[in-house]
């Protein structure tokens, strides 16, 4: 006899751009918001009754209305406003999950002093996920597509070799990766002060970059752990961080057929296949909850 399992529904990837005009100085918040709602939804699946269903079009409209009514202070704060609204305003909805990507813009300097021209930043995408069940919060912050490289201070040798191994040991190699990180804040209930979302995100990002730059790497796994550990050690509001680091391989090109010596100067940047290193770093006593997806 089949039965209905875990289910959710909502509107995915609602793009909302909030413009704040402070006189001649303008500010942009550019978000991609996905809403997922869960609760008493058995009837709509089993009999087609929509009596408990808030239309996904309504969730889209709510995103736009809240951008006006509440503004967008930060991705996390905006997600908290939305999640609380859906759970507390609709009795059949027991939990809400809000996923947000934020696209950053920076000002274009002009000789005339205008502050309304921007260029889209290409460094990374800020991410946030907010889950609320009416009592407890889970807030994940993070980033993706942050491409970094160390042109030296990286080795890879002493690994297992079998009859299929052709990779040569490297005592000086390029280490490049595209950082995908998510971290979970210890804040989980309204009785405690919220973190300073923008400040704490910037601090965590800075620690990730500093650890990447300052670690003499014998493996990408070692670098990953140092990056996660730096955040846990220096940001007390973070209990857990999950990192996914693809190895953006740079292979030295064989220039011998042309009578040339390649002294770690010319590389082939391979886009696939690539090694993928993933791990979670936890504060002592914390449990891992960040999903691997």
The predicted structure's pLDDT at residue 94:
98
The domain total for the chain is 2
The active-site residue out of 11, 29, 60, 250 is 11
Q: Is the same domain home to 120 and 146? A: no
Within 10 Å of residue 143's Cβ, how many Cβ atoms? 22
The rounded distance, in Å, linking the Cα atoms of 125 and 192 is: 28
What are the DSSP E strand ranges found in the chain?
A: 14-22, 25-39, 93-103, 105-107, 118-120, 125-132, 137-150, 175-185, 238-246, 250-252, 267-269, 276-282
The predicted structure's pLDDT at residue 112:
62
The predicted structure's pLDDT at residue 107:
85
The predicted structure's pLDDT at residue 110:
62
Told to judge if 289 belongs to the known catalytic residues of this protein, a careful annotator would answer: no
Query: Percent of the chain beyond pLDDT 70?
Result: 98
The pTM for the full model equals: 0.92
Model confidence over 191-237: pLDDT tens digits? 999 999 999 999 999 999 999 999 999 999 999 999 999 999 999 99
Which alpha helices (DSSP H) does 114-244 contain, by range?
Answer: 197-214, 220-234
The predicted structure's pLDDT at residue 292:
85
Q: Is the same domain home to 146 and 110? A: no
The predicted structure's pLDDT at residue 3:
95
Q: Is the same domain home to 184 and 269? A: yes
The active-site residue out of 56, 58, 70, 94 is 56
The predicted structure's pLDDT at residue 202:
97
Q: Is the same domain home to 283 and 171? A: yes
The predicted structure's pLDDT at residue 246:
97
The active-site residue out of 29, 81, 180, 249 is 249
Q: Is the same domain home to 157 and 291? A: yes
Told to judge if 60 belongs to the known catalytic residues of this protein, a careful annotator would answer: no
pLDDT averaged over the chain? Answer: 95
The predicted structure's pLDDT at residue 113:
62
Low-confidence ranges of the chain (pLDDT < 50): none
The rounded distance, in Å, linking the Cα atoms of 204 and 236 is: 11
Q: Is the same domain home to 126 and 179? A: no
Q: Is the same domain home to 112 and 184? A: no
Range of the domain at 287: 142-293
Told to judge if 249 belongs to the known catalytic residues of this protein, a careful annotator would answer: yes
What is the CATH number for 166?
3.10.270.10
Q: Is the same domain home to 253 and 155? A: yes
Q: Is the same domain home to 57 and 160? A: no
- Residue whose structure tokens are 């809000």: 98
């Amino acid at each position: 006899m089949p039965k209905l399992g875990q289910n959710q529904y909502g509107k995915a990837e609602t793009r909302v751009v909030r413009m704040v005009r402070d006189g001649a100085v303008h500010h942009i918040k550019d978000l991609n918001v996905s809403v997922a709602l869960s609760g008493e939804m058995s009837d709509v699946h089993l009999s087609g009754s929509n009596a408990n269903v808030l239309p996904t079009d309504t969730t889209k409209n709510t995103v736009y209305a809240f951008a006006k009514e509440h503004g967008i202070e930060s991705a996390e704060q905006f997600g908290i406003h939305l999640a609380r609204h859906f759970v507390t305003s609709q009795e059949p909805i027991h939990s809400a999950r809000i996923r947000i990507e934020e696209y950053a813009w920076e000002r274009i300097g002009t000789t005339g002093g205008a502050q309304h021209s921007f260029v889209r930043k290409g460094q990374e995408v800020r991410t946030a996920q907010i889950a609320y069940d009416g009592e407890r919060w889970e807030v994940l912050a993070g980033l993706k597509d942050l491409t970094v490289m160390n042109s030296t201070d990286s080795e890879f040798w002493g690994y297992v070799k079998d009859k299929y191994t052709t990779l040569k040991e490297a005592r000086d190699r390029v280490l490049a990766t595209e950082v995908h990180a998510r971290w979970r804040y210890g804040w989980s209930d309204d009785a405690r002060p919220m973190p300073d979302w923008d400040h704490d995100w910037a601090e965590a990002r800075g620690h990730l970059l500093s650890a990447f730059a300052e670690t003499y790497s014998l493996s990408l796994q070692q670098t990953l752990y140092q990056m996660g550990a730096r955040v846990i050690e220096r940001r007390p509001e973070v209990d857990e961080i999950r990192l996914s680091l693809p190895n953006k391989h740079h292979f030295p090109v064989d220039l011998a057929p042309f009578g040339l010596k390649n002294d770690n100067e010319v590389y082939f940047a391979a886009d696939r296949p690539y090694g993928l290193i993933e791990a979670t770093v936890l504060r002592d006593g914390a449990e891992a909850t960040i999903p691997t997806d």
